[in-house]
């Protein structure tokens, strides 16, 4: 039996909610209406049995990962962002790069679900490194499967390899390909641009902006002025200043990740700027919001391999045992490991120490760029 079309147009909701260490900081919601619904269609995975296809779509090739781009701002506009507006944003001071996504809210398992439609080859560079490097995630999107965020996967309890109906302007049946830490607050799932078209997502509803060295608050004001009052602009990396490490911690311990980075650098690697630890903490786990395991098996807020942890892991801030998942141990251990590699000397030695932490030139560049942003914003 063919699924019945929706009688009324549902609301597309792009709810910008930043989840921080178990808390949620709501930044408002944007409500959009979609066109009426059409009949169900299947957007099959390439290689599916021909008799099961009702709408054959060719898979795209996924480009290899060549860089990681840490996003500074997430911008959402109810009516979509025009090419002219994108050009003006690119011309703003310090803006180095941006990427757009189609988006809106659909119904999945009878729940409103925030979805971005993206190009997997381009979008992967804007996600956390462990997700960006996981070929399985982006190959699934290229096959026109959908990818759930890890939080949505825990909430919905869906199963990779199983097909589900996505209900928007159209009602395609799409296979769940994978779940991953997406690094985009409030976004539950990713679909391909082709699936976004069938679902009737709003084209270019969002853009993420990378702007090394910018005053983020000032940049946000400029972007909001360009896009108007209907837009929302979210700072994606300043959250560490208030992100709690352990709400139940006593007064002898750092209460926020920013304080933890500062005290760990001062105590375990004098001469190392806390901003380097903050940059690594953001890139590796979003300040503890995605503790892994990564594809390589790394764990915890600073993403140590267990083999490395056995050598460098230490108990910190009064602990008696070294726990790879405990930020009070992981951040001091990262400081100790960096220090042993020469990080406290700065300059080329710092570059070498970061490279020892993760053997990739792009990783070193992104850590340094992000550390400089923290230094400018927080002093």
Query: Do residues 133 and 231 share a domain?
Result: yes
Beta-carbon-side half-sphere exposure of residue 371 (alpha carbons within 13 Å): 20
Task: Specify the pLDDT at position 25.
Answer: 26
- Are 274 and 266 a contacting pair, CB within 8 Å? yes
Query: Do residues 135 and 199 share a domain?
Result: yes
CA geometry: angle at 190 spanning 179 and 369, to 5°? 90
Query: Do residues 172 and 273 share a domain?
Result: no
Beta-carbon-side half-sphere exposure of residue 146 (alpha carbons within 13 Å): 34
Does a structural domain hold residue 241?
Answer: no
Does a structural domain hold residue 70?
Answer: yes
Does a structural domain hold residue 225?
Answer: yes
Q: How far is CA 174 from CA 30, 41, 170, 191, in A?
A: 26, 9, 12, 9
Task: Specify the pLDDT at position 361.
Answer: 85
- The distance from CA 318 to its chain's CA centroid, rounded to whole angstroms, is 32
Residue 247 dihedral angles phi and psi, to the nearest 5°: -55, -25
Out of 187, 212, 236, a domain closes at 236
CA distance 279 to 331: 12
Q: Which of 256, 271, 209 has its CA nearest to residue 378?
A: 256
Predicted confidence band of residue 153 (pLDDT cuts 50, 70, 90): confident
- Are 73 and 223 a contacting pair, CB within 8 Å? yes
- The distance from CA 165 to its chain's CA centroid, rounded to whole angstroms, is 25
- The distance from CA 356 to its chain's CA centroid, rounded to whole angstroms, is 24
Lowest mean pLDDT among 30-39, 53-62, 176-185, 312-321: 30-39
Instruction: Tell me the CATH number at 263.
Output: 1.10.530.10
| Mean pLDDT of the region 314-340 | 93
Number of structural domains (the chain) is 2
Percentage of the chain with pLDDT > 90? 42
Structure tokens given for 170: 């159209």
> Hey, what's the torsion of the CAs at 358, 364, 370, 373, to 10 degrees?
150
CA distance 309 to 317: 17
Query: Do residues 254 and 212 share a domain?
Result: no
Query: Do residues 130 and 150 share a domain?
Result: yes
Residue span of the structural domain in which 132 resides: 11-236
Query: Do residues 83 and 195 share a domain?
Result: yes
pLDDT digits (tens, 9 = 90+) for 217-261: 889 999 999 998 778 888 876 555 555 566 556 667 888 888 899
Query: Do residues 178 and 309 share a domain?
Result: no
Out of 208, 236, 264, a domain closes at 236
CA distance 302 to 287: 8
Residue 344 dihedral angles phi and psi, to the nearest 5°: -70, -15
Task: Specify the pLDDT at position 208.
Answer: 94
- Tally of CB atoms within 10 A around 33: 10
Out of 213, 236, 259, a domain closes at 236
Q: Which of 270, 248, 219, 286 has its CA nearest to residue 75?
A: 219
Query: Is residue 287 scored above 70 in pLDDT?
Result: yes
Query: Do residues 218 and 274 share a domain?
Result: no
CA distance 130 to 303: 9
Residue matched to tokens 């009878």: 110
- Are 39 and 171 a contacting pair, CB within 8 Å? yes
Query: Do residues 265 and 142 share a domain?
Result: no
Query: Do residues 32 and 163 share a domain?
Result: yes
Does a structural domain hold residue 243?
Answer: no
Angle between helices 274-285 and 347-357 (to 10 degrees): 30
Does a structural domain hold residue 1?
Answer: no
Does a structural domain hold residue 65?
Answer: yes
């Amino acid at each position: 039996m063919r699924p019945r079309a929706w009688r009324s147009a549902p609301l597309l909701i792009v709810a910008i909610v930043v989840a921080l260490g178990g808390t949620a900081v709501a930044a408002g919601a944007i409500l959009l209406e979609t066109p009426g619904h059409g009949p169900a269609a299947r957007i099959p995975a390439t290689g599916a049995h021909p008799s099961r296809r009702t709408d054959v779509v060719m898979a795209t090739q996924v480009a290899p990962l060549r860089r990681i781009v840490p996003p500074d701002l997430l911008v959402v506009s109810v009516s979509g962002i025009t090419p002219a507006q994108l050009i003006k944003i690119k011309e703003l001071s310090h803006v180095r790069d941006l990427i757009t996504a189609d988006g809106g809210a659909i119904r999945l398992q009878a729940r409103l679900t925030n979805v971005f439609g993206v190009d997997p080859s381009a979008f992967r560079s804007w996600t956390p490194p462990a997700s960006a490097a996981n070929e399985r995630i982006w190959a699934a999107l290229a096959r026109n499967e959908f990818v759930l965020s890890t939080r949505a996967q825990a909430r919905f309890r869906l199963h990779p390899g199983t097909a589900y109906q996505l209900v928007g302007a159209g009602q395609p049946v799409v296979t769940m390909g994978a779940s991953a830490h997406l690094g985009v607050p409030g976004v539950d799932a990713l679909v391909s641009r082709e699936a976004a078209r069938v679902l009737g997502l709003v084209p270019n509803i969002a853009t993420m902006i990378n702007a090394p060295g910018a005053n983020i608050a000032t940049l946000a004001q400029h972007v909001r002025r360009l896009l108007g009052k209907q837009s929302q602009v979210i700072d994606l990396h300043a959250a560490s200043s208030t992100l709690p490490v352990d709400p139940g911690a006593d007064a002898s311990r750092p209460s926020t990740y920013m304080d933890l980075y500062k005290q760990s650098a001062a105590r375990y690697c004098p001469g190392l700027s806390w901003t380097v630890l903050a940059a690594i903490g953001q890139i590796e786990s979003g300040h503890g919001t995605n503790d892994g395991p990564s594809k390589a098996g790394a764990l915890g807020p600073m993403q140590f391999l267990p083999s490395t942890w056995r050598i460098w892991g230490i108990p910190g801030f009064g602990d008696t045992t070294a726990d790879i998942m405990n930020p009070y141990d992981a951040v001091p251990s990262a400081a100790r490991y960096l220090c042993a590699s020469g990080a406290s000397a700065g300059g080329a030695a710092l570059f070498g120490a970061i490279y020892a932490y993760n053997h990739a030139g792009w990783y070193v560049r992104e850590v340094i760029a992000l550390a400089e942003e923290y230094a400018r914003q927080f002093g």
